Amino acid sequence: MNSSSNARPASRSFAKSSSKRPRPIRPARRLLAAIAALAASHLPICLPASAQELAGFARLPADTFAEGPTSGQFIDGGANGRTAPFEDKQPVQGFSAMVANGDGTYWLLSDNGFGSKANSQDYLLRIYKILPSFRTETGGDASVEVLEFLTLSDPQRLIPFEIMADRASYPKGDGSDSGIPVDPAIKSRRLLTGGDLDIESVRIDADGTFWFGDEFGPFLIHCNVQGELLQAPIPLTGIATPDDPLGRSANHPRSGGFEGMSINQAGTLLYPMLEKPLAQDQAAGLRRLPITPFDVRKNQYVGETFYYPLEPEGTAIGDFSPISDTLHMVIERDGGSGPTAVFKKIFLVDLTLRDEQNTLLKKELVDLLNLPDPYDLDQDGSHVFTFPFVTIEGLALIDPQTIAVANDNNYPFSAGRAAKPIIDNNEIILIRFDSPLVSMKVKN
């Protein structure tokens, strides 16, 4: 555990589940209104990607746990010096999406657990609310406080396929019975696990309820503010992965379902994006990722599918996040980490600018491997900051000139930082631009 963090001891279960019904969450509504007003007040200008610098740094130690059932019983002992299983606790890790609440707190989505359906049967699907104390030019200690969490559940039995809560014992990775009883809390409360769904993206709609993008189906998952499903998972018509629990014929790669998901300012239109190209596009040499809009009021996919183009070095996207109704950001990456990481970037797209094949135009916004750090906020002795993680999957607009970015540390497996500890922490950074993002142009 890094000594610079003030997080509480890893052996202590500290994060508390919400026991009372919270108010509907409408994140950063005033921020979006302010940005819209800013856009209206500016004359059209053509700017290249704005200069930027590291403006804040925070770290949640890798060995951070929350209360919950024993986890990690199917990951073959552990990795990077960490021994599984993790008795009576759940790692706070694998942050795969981010929502800024506008009050200094963030919702961070923990994905399906330990990397696959075959080893995450006992990992609870959760979204954590955190409060970072960013180290900045003027102060902050770089710590992160975990305030609370919501655990996804299906108390109304809306899911039409078998989930872990329906079983007496967990399955092994090959589907056979492990003989390990499913935790009583999972069964009694019908809690969802990484063996049921793989949630990789999250947005909060106009009603304050949560929408998650899943990779297994792929599905859209709709939950109330207590994490309870409001309807059955909504599949993407005509697309199924090998992990699809509905048993449809697979025609899309494993780990290729919904990865990033943006939203309009009104909170009524979702833009879920697949992580990998369609099979027919791959066969035709088209490296592009489908985006199929979903209207939450009509509860259906609407309009035509359009596409995000991958760079030659890019193998996947990490997140898809709004700036305005038309301007959005995309994290694009390669599969390397540490010294093998060569391509970790954020791009700007305008949903109204597409080519003749309905593919978005884009412009580079940030190189996450070459970010000016004039105040050495991560205290590594360098004034050039790098974010060399294999998976970088959290992205949010904080104010008109600042974004937040978070990594997915794949606990206990990833080790992208060369310095000790030889395991990745959860890191959250702020990047400040020298001009408002809403004024930037994809096409000059």
Q: What is the pLDDT of residues 187-204, one digit of tens each?
A: 999 999 999 999 999 999
- Domain assignment of residue 168, yes or no: yes
- Give the side-chain half-sphere CA count within 13 A for 216: 24
Closest CA to 278 of 318, 299, 305, 303: 305
Domain assignment present for 2: no
The β-bridge relationship of strands 269-274 and 258-263 is: antiparallel
Strands 16-17 and 143-151 turn out to be: parallel
Q: So what's the pLDDT on residue 222? A: 99
Residue 318: left (phi > 0), alpha (psi -120 to 50), or beta? alpha
Is residue 313 one of the residues assigned to a domain?
A: yes
- How many domains, in total, are found in the chain? 1
Establish how many alpha carbons lie within 13 A of residue 128's alpha carbon, considering only the half-sphere containing its beta carbon: 28
**Measured CA angle at 108 (ends 107, 113), to 5 deg:** 145
Q: Is residue 151, in this structure, part of any structural domain at all?
A: yes
Overall pTM > 0.85: yes
Q: What is the largest CA-CA distance in the chain?
A: 66
* Cα Rg of the chain, angstroms: 21
**Residue-level pLDDT at 11:** 37
CATH number of domain containing 425: 2.120.10
Closest Cα partner for 186 from 39, 84, 301, 68? 68
**What pLDDT was estimated at residue 378?**
97
Residue 3 lies in a domain: no
Residue at 393: amino acid letter? E
Rounded to the nearest 5 degrees, what angle is found at the Cα of 55, between the Cα atoms of 53 and 61?
A: 120
Q: Are 150 and 17 in contact (CB under 8 A)?
A: yes
Kindly compute the dihedral angle of the four CA atoms of residues 417, 93, 322, 38, in this order, to the nearest 10 degrees.
Answer: -80
Instruction: Decide the pairing of beta strands 384-385 and 392-399.
Output: unpaired
State the SS3 of the chain. CCCCCCCCCCCCCCCEECCCCCCCCCCCHHHHHHHHHHHHHCCCCCCCCCCEEEEEEEEECCCCEEECCCECCCCCCEECCEECCECCEEECCCEEEEEECCCCCEEEEECCCCCCCCCCCCCECEEEEEEEECEECCECCCEEEEEEEEECECCCCCCCCCCHHHCCEEECCCCCEEEEECCHHHHHHCECECCCCCEEEEEECCCCCEEEEECCCCEEEEECCCCEECCCCEECCCCCCCCCCCCCCCCCCCCCCEEEEEECCCCCEEEEEECCCCHHHHHCCCCEEEECCEECCCCEECCCCEEEECCCCCCEEEEEEECCCCEEEEEEECCCCHHHCCCEEEEEEEEEEECCCCEEEEEEEEECCCEECCCCCCCCCCCEECCCCCCEEEEEEEECCEEEEEECCCCCCCCCCCCCCCCCCEEEEEEEECCCHHHCCCCC
pLDDT score for 49: 54
Q: What is the pLDDT of residue 111?
A: 84
Q: What are phi and psi of 129, to 5 degrees?
A: -95, 125
Start-to-end CA distance of the chain, whole Å, equals 46
In a domain, 197, yes or no: yes
From the list 115, 254, 272, the residue with the least C-alpha distance to 195 is 115
State residue 422's pLDDT score: 83
Task: Please report, in tens digits, the pLDDT of each residue of the chain (444 residues total).
Answer: 333 333 333 333 444 454 444 444 444 544 444 444 444 433 333 333 579 999 999 999 999 999 999 999 999 877 888 999 999 999 999 899 999 999 999 999 998 899 899 999 999 999 999 999 999 999 999 999 999 999 999 999 999 999 999 999 999 999 999 999 999 999 999 999 999 999 999 999 999 999 999 999 999 999 999 999 999 999 999 999 999 999 999 999 998 999 999 999 999 999 999 999 999 999 999 999 999 999 999 999 998 999 999 999 999 999 999 999 999 999 999 999 999 999 999 999 999 999 999 999 999 999 999 999 999 999 999 999 999 999 999 999 999 999 999 999 999 999 998 665 689 999 999 999 999 999 999 987
* Encoded tokens for 411: 């606990």
Range of the domain at 280: 16-439
Report pLDDT for 46. Answer: 33
pLDDT of residue 81: 87
Q: What is the pLDDT of residue 38?
A: 42
Alpha-carbon gap, residue 368 to 372, rounded angstroms: 10
- Give domain status of residue 444, yes or no: no
In a domain, 429, yes or no: yes
